[in-house]
Amino acid sequence: MRVLIVEDSRGICENIAAYLEKHNYVMDFAYDGISAMHLALTNRFDVIVLDLMLPGMDGLSFCQKLRTDAGVETPVLMLTARDTLDDKLKGFEAGADDYLVKPFALQELHARLQALYKRRHGKTSNLLTVGDLTMNRSTLQVRRAGQHIDLSPAGMRLLQRLMEVSPSVVTRDDLEILLWADERPDGDALRSHLYKLRQAIDRPFDSPLIHTVHRIGYRIAEEAQ
């Protein structure tokens, strides 16, 4: 899951990052409302975690502009120390989808992010299937035509992302962020990982499932488009 954290407290951001990284989240951070708006309009996020008290543009204004002016429907979870009913209602009126009061438990933040993701994308099964390829997201077992396939951790993450959105295209940028966040290696390391993934998923079988979309990214499907 890719999440934008909009919070001016770097300490809170560090705590959130340390916890959510353990659950394979990909995170971007903004410390003021104006920077957050730029990121929200130029990137695709699954959920936005939004503090109310922000420099540049406060959280309520950010949420209203995101919904009304930009038409962005990404779920928004508001984080704030304001805990009155009136404050919560103002947040929902501005377009927030959920509300979490500070101080909060990181386990609850994780649970609410998962709930917002599932609400938007529908209840998902642990079993991903594309043609004769399957992946169990709980056990991380991958099989094609009944044959077990061993993958590296990077290959597993790439395959899971491709299968989750199949047959849609995942951009190279999104895949690089998935693997390395903001610390991308020199050279074309992504190409190397995709080559190894194809060797495991496609080479032993009659028909390829992983397809390159020229100058954009990759997709996994039974037939190329």
Distance (Å, whole) CA 94 – CA 96: 6
Give the number of other CB atoms < 10 A from CB of residue 66.
22
CA distance 192 to 62: 40
Under 8 Å between Cβ of 91 and 61: no
Cβ contact 164:126 at 8 Å: no
The answer to whether residue 179 is domain-embedded is: yes
Residue 143, domain extent: 127-220
142 shares its domain with 92: no
Position 42 in a domain: yes
Domain final residue pick, 121, 156, 179: 121
List pLDDT tens digits, range 157-216. 999 989 988 888 889 888 988 888 777 777 789 999 999 999 999 999 989 999 999 888
The phi-psi region of residue 211 (left if phi > 0; otherwise alpha if psi is between -120 and 50; otherwise beta) is beta
Q: Is the pLDDT of residue 124 over 70?
A: no
The Cα–Cα gap between 91 and 155 comes to: 40
pLDDT confidence of residue 147: 92
What is the pLDDT at residue 98? 93
Same domain? 142 vs 178: yes
Number of domains composing the chain: 2
pLDDT mean over 73-94: 86
Domain membership flag for residue 62: yes
**Boundary-marking domain end, from 121, 148, 176:** 121
Q: How many Å separate Cα 63 from the centre of its chain?
A: 19
CA 39 to chain centre: 14
In a domain, 206, yes or no: yes
Residue 225 belongs to a domain: no
Q: Does one domain contain both 104 and 208?
A: no
Contact 34, 57 (CB under 8 A): yes
Residue 130 scores a pLDDT above 60: yes
Out of 69, 88, 121, pick the residue that ends a domain: 121
Q: How confident is the model at residue 151 (pLDDT cuts 50, 70, 90)?
A: very high
Q: Is 79 helix (H, G, I), strand (E, B) or coil?
A: strand
Residue 135 belongs to some domain of the structure: yes
Q: Is residue 15 one of the residues assigned to a domain? A: yes
Higher pLDDT residue, 99 or 122?
99
How far apart (Å, rounded) are the C-alpha atoms in residues 78 and 216?
A: 33
User: Which amino acid, one-letter code, is at 222?
Assistant: E
Same domain for 134 and 115: no
Q: In angstroms, rounded to a whole number, what is the distance separating the alpha carbons of residues 195 and 193?
A: 5
Confidence of residue 122 (pLDDT cuts 50, 70, 90): low
Is the domain of 73 the same as that of 152? no
For residue 41, pLDDT over 60 is answered with: yes
Residues 16 and 113 in one domain: yes
Task: Please report, for the domain that includes residue 159, its CATH number.
Answer: 1.10.10.10
Are 191 and 95 in the same domain? no
Instruction: Say which CATH number the domain at 96 has.
Output: 3.40.50.2300
Does residue 95 sit in the same domain as residue 10? yes
Contact 157, 174 (CB under 8 A): no
CA 147 remoteness from chain centre: 29
How is residue 33 annotated by DSSP? H
Residue 66 within a domain: yes
Are residue 15 and residue 109 in the same domain, yes or no?
Answer: yes
Check whether residue 40 and residue 117 sit in a common domain.
yes
Residue 18 confidence class, pLDDT cut points 50, 70, 90:
very high
- What pLDDT band is residue 109 in, cutting at 50, 70 and 90? very high
For residues 72-96, average pLDDT:
87
Percent of the chain with pLDDT over 90: 55
Q: Do both 70 and 25 map to the same domain?
A: yes
- Two structure tokens written together for 59: 């959280």
Q: So what's the pLDDT on residue 64?
A: 93
How confident is the prediction for the chain on average, in pLDDT? 89
Residues 149 and 116 occupy one common structural domain: no
Give the CA-trace dihedral at 64, 69, 73, 77, to 10 degrees: -20
pLDDT at 225 (0 to 100): 55
- What mean pLDDT do residues 102-110 have? 92
- pLDDT confidence of residue 224: 62
